[in-house]
Amino acid sequence: MKNPTKEQTSRLTVTAAQAGARLDKWLSDHISDISRSRIQSLLAAGHIHQGGRTINDASYRVKPGEEFLITIPPAVEAVPQPEAIPLSVVHEDSELIVIDKPAGLVVHPGAGNWHGTLVHALLAHCGDSLSGIGGVRRPGIVHRLDKQTSGLLVAAKTDRAHASLAAQFAAHTVERSYLALAWGAPHPAHGRIVTQIGRSAANRQKMAVRPSGGRGAITNYEILRRFGDPLNPVISLLRCRLETGRTHQIRVHMAHLGHAILGDPVYGGGRSRAKGLPEEAQEAISGLGRQALHAASLGFQHPLNHQFLRFDSELPDDMARLLEILERI
């Protein structure tokens, strides 16, 4: 849609070669700016007409010579209000925006975090360039990072980008890798963790590896550095690549292996091991105030030109400083 703040109308005529196609599919093929699900919602809301009559049936089969009038109302304002929160923008174009999120910033409004989130910040930053996701002028959040996880995150600015990115995440074709500092060192030095993750039966506020009843979760890891005794490292630097994106996935998987992420307030067992470290290292670990987990790289296909984009983010200052200290032990 060229101007998301004004009502748009389109007239489309069915050719002989197109006869018999489902109406929602035919319309989505010919209106590139909005998704098929958005077309279906327009049908349900009575915004599509043919020959003076309203068509609500998405499965209606189009006939040669039929002309359809499509009215696309302006995107309504999002419920969250824009807030001028500084953002580190890595890439931005008409379809999407890539942010390097700092630790401490919540991605989406929710209980206890109704203000000051990334969504509020994006509403202010993007303004009218948001053409609307599902008819609402808001950023399309297709994946999230935990509040205290830093790093790269992509958000859609259009329906088309939202549908494309969501499909790529669902198909596991998005490349995502994280850097993490963990207690000890997993054995073997690189591996693939395949489990189911669901709510913990003992604590519903936590996620856990479950024998059944969870959702499939796959994390690939490799050790990049070991710190301390080479035969019995105190801490290791890991690269973790996600094939799926379950809640707290890396944190849960590493804790499941017995190598929880440093500073993790929920799954971070093994803190007593810090007592054997130099005082400077102990202070740096306790001063993190969060899990030492950073979304370091992100790669996906651009929804418009299909070019593969890849972005990298350096370690934030808190993790970089801790790494420098660990290199001296």
> What is the residue whose two structure tokens read 């600015």?
157
Q: Is 100 a catalytic site residue?
A: no
Q: What is the dihedral of CA 108, 90, 123, 138, to 10 degrees?
A: -70
Of 93, 100, 128, 146, the active-site residue reads: 146
Pairing of β 150-156 and β 175-183: unpaired
Q: Count the neighbouring beta carbons within 10 Å of the beta carbon of residue 54.
A: 12
> What is the residue whose two structure tokens read 């327009």?
42
Query: What single letter denotes the amino acid at residue 132?
Result: G
Element (H, E) at 168: helix 159-170
Q: At what angle do helices 36-44 and 23-30 cross, to 10 degrees?
A: 120
Task: Enumerate residues 6+ apart whose C-beta is below 8 A from 219.
Answer: 192, 193, 240, 241, 242, 243, 244, 249, 250, 253
Rounded CA separation 289/266 (Å): 12
What percent helix, strand, coil does the chain show, rounded to 5? Answer: 25, 35, 45
Rounded CA separation 329/310 (Å): 34
Tell me which residue of 130, 138, 164 sits closest to 35, measured CA to CA: 164
Rounded CA separation 209/211 (Å): 7
Q: What is the dihedral of CA 231, 234, 237, 240, to 10 degrees?
A: 90
Q: Is 264 left (phi over 0), alpha (psi -120 to 50) or beta?
A: beta
Is residue 279 within 8 Å of 267, Cβ to Cβ? no
Q: Could you tell me the two tokens for 312?
A: 């990298």
Backbone angles phi, psi at 280, to 5 degrees: -60, -40
**Which residues are the active-site residues?**
146
